[in-house]
Structure 1
Amino acid sequence: MASGIAPNSFKYGSLTEPDSFRLILLQPSSSHGTALQCTLLHTTLSQCDRDIIDHYTALSYVWGDPTKTGSIYVDGHKFTITATLEAALRDLRDPSRVLRIWADALCIDQSNMTERSSQVALMAQIYSIAHHTVIHLGSLTENYEMILRAASSNTTGVVSNLVHTDNLASLAANGLLRLPWFGRVWIFQELVLSRDPWVQCGNLRARWTDICNILVPAGVVSNPTGRPKELQVLADMNSARVGGRQRMIVLLTARRGLGATDPRDFIFAHMFLAADTDTVIRYVKVDYTKTCAEVFEDAARFLLEEVGPGGHVKFFPHAIRDQTSKIEGLASWAPDWSLPYAGLVPMYCENLTRRLRLNPGLHYDFVSRPLVLAHVGYEVDVVTDFSFVLPDPSEFDMAARKRYQEAADDLETLYGAGAWWSGDEHGQHRHIDVRGKEARHEELCLKLADEWLHVLSGDLLSTQNELLEDEVETHKRFLPRFRLWLEDRAKKGLIMVGSDSDGMESLMWSYMRLADYPAVLTGRRLTITKSGRAAVVPRQVRSEDMVVFLAGSLVSLILRPSPEIPSEDLKREIRSALKAKAAIKTDSWSQDRLNCDMENLPIQRCSLIGECHLEGEIGWKYGEERGNIYTIFALR
């Protein structure tokens, strides 16, 4: 919610009750151009909820460009408002009756951070208690009028059937549904909680439900092929109104990157819609005196601790950023929900090996301010040279991919009956029998290697924009090391292609084959680590970044060491917090805790860069003791 623009001549009265709020009493006028006049009524939500005579209407609109302004007289004082609010109030004003209406910019003292925080916390109730909500989209055009007049509830009282429903849907997808209102954060709460929402353009309005029944009729399968995304957004919004509530992480994931003048509103606008609101509010308070970084970090703490089984694997991908965050001081582990999703395929995770099922909550804690995530884990390798970012493989030379596919097909023919399985105390293992065919197998594997080197040496360079000199040099250093790695793998008799392949071989085959499936490698880089192993790493990686497994996470992470030495105060806080975690009682037979003295482990300051897959490295293997190398990573 953006700050309002009000002159000093007007002073708001205090809101004295926990559920106090203000309503605009908009004075009538028969002339659309007459100056807007209103008084402010102080009341409470409980009084309005019990009132069966005087109801109020909530207004949902977009603030728009703050440099474009209008005005209204509030209790005789001229008050500057946005042009969009002025237009909405003029269109809503009745010729003869006073209209009781709630509009955030006028009903909340935007200059009072304490009031603003408390009123935003009440907004869910404000919209749910209002008897009607008017969604004001702006002025009326010919196309918008055709859509609204097709609804039986339109305020002219005359239904127009001159345009076929399919044509109306096309008109809406290319116009009405592209208006800014559909891309703002707050509107979701305002819509979902409203009893009776109406869509208005100019002075014409119709019920939301009727509009949806025309444009996205019930019974149509969700996201059918060919449906414009604008219509799918409308269908999803309408489903959210009539369906059950969703968890906070689902809401944030589905709507990340939408417009909000104040990024804090991305959290505040969703927290009272969530199925787990009662838990969210234990971590996050609507408080505009907090910085955006503090609000996002509090939300991240909630998500990591409450997201449930597989927390790390579900949580950390949301923190990956394709763009630099504009939120000053935001921790590397906190998702920036104001940025669009990075669009990466979930990182590969080997699931055949028996592993320790550690409880991550027993091995980390949040300490200090600004928040530090102190997490026990261990380092397994270090990044050295790496490739350019891998694009969608469709950008590569098709001839090279066809040659790769031919060699892959020949290999699958060579494998014949496919893989066979064995198992032991460590898990399950796949094997292939190439006895007597070793030379042919190596020959075909080297063909795969040649095509990889072809695209990395030539095609990949043509897909890159604005390369830095350092990036070019590290790619050049990476190539000969990658060649040696490929040649070595060709000699090992591994399953190199097909659905039976594992790890790096599976990822490389999935990326290069002639199939239009999203690939894990797209948008990431390849590296050869200090130990000589190949890995898939995030695009933001740098030389000397660490490959790390945190307790409870089955996917390795890239952490960047900080030159900053942890202060003694921070060390004491971390050790005290982890000592308390060690004192938590668990079942004696469970294997959810590491057998180590956590409070006395070395502490290293780092930042989170992203997820990784390192060839041959399986974290937390059952029976593998690493007690001498555990570290507390203090992530900021």
Structure 2
Amino acid sequence: MNNMLKDGDVFGYRPLPSPTYIRLLRILSRYDEPIRCSLETVDLCNEPRYHALSYTWGDPLSNSSSSPNSGNTNHSSPARKRILCDGHDLSLTATDNLLAVIGELSTNPKFSDGIFRSREDLIWIDAICINQKNASEKNVQIAMMDRIYKNAETVIIWLGPRDNETSMALEVMRQIIEIPAQKASNQKFTSSIGDEEIYQTLDIPYIEPYQWQAYASFLQRTWFSRIWVVQEAFFARKIHVILGTEILKWSDITSAARFLRDTNLGTLLMNHTAKDLGENYVRNILTNVYIFERMRERIDSMNLEWLLTNSRFFDATYSQDKVIAILGLWKESSRRQGRPPGALHPDCTLSVEEVYTQAAWTCIQEMGDLNILSLVEDASFRKAKSLPSWVPDFSVGSQPHPLAGNPRPAIGNQRWDASCALEWNMPVPKLEAILPVYSVQIDTIVDFAATQPEILEHYDVTSLLRILRDCSTTADPYQGNCIDAFWRTLIKDTFREEPADLRARELFQWLIIMRVWELQTGIQQFRERSDPNIDPLDPYYVENARQLELYNMTQQLLSEVSRIYGKSEVIPDWSTIQEKIRSVEALVDGSTEATDLGRDYDDISEAFRIAYGGRRLFKTKKGLLGISAQSLARGDTICVIAGVNVPFVVRKLQKEGYWKLIGEAYIHGIMNGEVFKEEDVVRQSIYLE
């Protein structure tokens, strides 16, 4: 069937005959010709033979530290900038990256053997086979993309051109996948990627840090970070991965990722790379590659909430795609579980706010509770500023991490159940953007501490110590055990993925000691470089003068806390801290003592980082201690909400009965319904908007 409308030299699309039809591309170019192709319309019900292309519309190296190899220009950039479809210009539809892969497929004889035979083969490419200017057609075609990729003979993944580090990266991957399974069994490496003991244990040649860097750069290619490729790889019956002129096995890529995850080498690699290139560079190094296979493993049990949680690890040009791109996976999993997937369908005409709100309502209906509220991030991280406060912004990463984690624990294995005495019923929306909830208001916030960056990067623990000090002058819901409530709150009572134990209590002191040591080191360097003629307004002087003031204030507050609570293992006094610092300075690098202390400190720091990231400590009028979203303010209310396992912080709006959700909270002493033992508990319905 002819797809062409006569309109000068510009290609035009004719409407598809029915919702089961798609267009397929036939590449006609040969080695010395401009890129030429034609489109054919076929009915998927007739099971046509074709390939499907999985690629990124933009720069395939935009997430990577690498650049194309200038000595290999045939593969680093498209040789032609035009594409002719049925004799008419289609250049505006094709991006440079798409032109590059079409050029490779049509001219490189290496791909004609068992992968793509040019004139003989048909291929589905979204940018060309869908009329991108027709919203109705896009909605229909996007809704059937799972079927398109599932029915394809092969899915061809194009990672982009070779670069200067490709050979080195692939050699590292080859070494990883050739390690026998028994060598890595039960191995958890915790030192650093450069530790020679790792390679002795695995019985492989030493991999230099710059070689690891090349492999990290490979995993940072844009394809691994795009949300649409998730279902494209998931539904594929057979996958061929093309990297420049290389043909890779998909199983090699995922096997290497699994090995790095299981041995903790992936974390060490991310830590190493972050030191050199910054945290944004390494955010997708390993997680996304493994998510592909994890979805295959969970296909019979996936729900929309879980899929949306994972979509936050990926990027999308249009924020709506964070929802739309995973609907095919949700539909397939729902079918396998024998339940209808609901009324959520792709609609490219809806706003981000409309798509995300519909997705949140669908999660509530599917899961039968309101735990979707735990996925709401701190307001400072939001991009979609006009979203209802109770709807997560899926276009950004999860900050903070949900308290109970995600995927959520199995029914009966929940760690917390703060609203256990509140009956929950499926809400009937007053308006689509408003969520009616049944709640109990507990107390109001009267004080709060610094954020995680202020504590870890600027060594400021004074606000934490001040709140602990002031606990002695207010109501005491912890019956004299405020220090225990304090340290447990700061790590959400969780250590090494288990309820915090006495070992966590012993190690907590190092969070304080290390901040003092870091301040002390900076102050010493400042004093050594002091110049009586320095300008007091000089930025270096101002910053170090501030740190000197902070150092003195920390010492004073530690003395006050010690005087109030006595000598404590959790919060050491000043002399004990100095003694501990001297003992650490005396340790020999690489010694058992230094290694063990480093591992323990990393574990307690990780517990604090996960719990406190995007949150801050607060104290209530009744003396309760908690952590919640860092955008909280004095006067905010803490409450428990029926249908959610953890408490929340909310803020009263001017309209009577209407509130804004600030974020979920860990509040020591009320995480399992203890609040309902009080006689003055008032239950009420409120509206979140």
Aligned CA distance change for structure 1 residues 238 and 517 (closer, same or farther; 3 Å): closer
Shift of 1:517: 4.6
Counterpart code for 1:92:
L
Counterpart code for 2:235:
L
Within 1, Cα distance between the matches of 2:651 and 2:164? 56
Alignment match, 1:564: 655
Assess if the C-alpha contact under 8 Å between 1:169 and 1:231 holds in 2. Answer: no
Instruction: Give the match's secondary structure for 1:73.
Output: strand
Equivalent residue pairs, number: 485
Counterpart code for 1:87:
A
Aligned CA distance change for structure 1 residues 626 and 374 (closer, same or farther; 3 Å): farther
Within 1, Cα distance between the matches of 2:237 and 2:354? 33
Aligned CA distance change for structure 1 residues 396 and 83 (closer, same or farther; 3 Å): closer
Alignment match, 2:72: none
Counterpart code for 1:174:
A
Give deviations 1:507-546, integer Å, cap 9, x for gaps.
Answer: xxxx999944513345432334344544433210123222
Alignment match, 2:43: 44
Give deviations 1:209-234, integer Å, cap 9, x for gaps.
Answer: 35556x45x8x474313233577447
Shift of 1:191: 0.9
Within 2, Cα distance between the matches of 1:204 and 1:101? 20
Within 2, Cα distance between the matches of 1:22 and 1:184? 24
State the superposition RMSD in angstroms.
4.8
Assess if the C-alpha contact under 8 Å between 2:451 and 2:616 holds in 1. Answer: yes
Query: Does 2:618 match 1:527?
Result: yes
Counting only pairs closer than 5 Å after superposition, residues 248-263 of structure 1 correspond to structure 2 as 248-263=304-319
Counting only pairs closer than 5 Å after superposition, residues 15-414 of structure 1 correspond to structure 2 as 15-31=16-32, 34-47=33-46, 49=47, 51=48, 55-64=49-58, 70-79=81-90, 80=92, 81-93=94-106, 97-141=119-163, 143-144=165-166, 170=212, 173-210=215-252, 212=254, 215=256, 220=259, 222-227=261-266, 228=269, 232-233=286-287, 236-237=290-291, 239-240=293-294, 243-245=297-299, 246-274=302-330, 276-278=333-335, 281-307=341-367, 311-312=369-370, 314-321=371-378, 323-344=380-401, 346=403, 356-362=420-426, 364-369=427-432, 371-391=433-453
Assess if the C-alpha contact under 8 Å between 2:446 and 2:635 holds in 1. Answer: yes
Aligned CA distance change for structure 1 residues 151 and 25 (closer, same or farther; 3 Å): farther
Within 1, Cα distance between the matches of 2:679 and 2:9? 68
**TM-score calculated relative to the size of structure 2:** 0.60
Within 2, Cα distance between the matches of 1:249 and 1:186? 17
Within 2, Cα distance between the matches of 1:128 and 1:607? 43
Alignment match, 1:411: none
Shift of 1:137: 1.7
Shift of 1:122: 0.7
Instruction: Give the match's secondary structure for 2:82.
Output: strand
**TM-score calculated relative to the size of structure 1:** 0.64
Within 1, Cα distance between the matches of 2:349 and 2:688? 25
662, 676, 679: which is aligned to 1:609? 662
Aligned CA distance change for structure 1 residues 549 and 225 (closer, same or farther; 3 Å): closer
Give deviations 1:188-212, integer Å, cap 9, x for gaps.
Answer: 1111111111111334424323555
Give deviations 1:103-145, integer Å, cap 9, x for gaps.
Answer: 1111111111111111111111111111111111222346436
Note the residue ranges of structure 2 that are not aligned, 5 or more in a row: 1-6, 61-77, 110-117, 175-203, 271-283, 406-412, 467-479, 485-508, 524-545, 572-599
Within 2, Cα distance between the matches of 1:305 and 1:222? 34
Give deviations 1:569-625, integer Å, cap 9, x for gaps.
Answer: xxxxxxxxxxxxxxxxxxxxxxxxxxxxxxxxxxx1111101234565564755656
Alignment match, 2:578: none
Alignment match, 2:470: none
Q: Which moved more, 1:288-297 or 1:89-98?
A: 89-98
Shift of 1:235: 5.5
Within 1, Cα distance between the matches of 2:171 and 2:460? 52
Within 1, Cα distance between the matches of 2:8 and 2:665? 54
Percentage of matched positions with identical amino acids:
25
Shift of 1:383: 2.3
Within 2, Cα distance between the matches of 1:343 and 1:623? 30
Shift of 1:176: 2.3
Instruction: Give the match's secondary structure for 2:233.
Output: helix
Counterpart code for 1:265:
D
Within 1, Cα distance between the matches of 2:8 and 2:393? 34
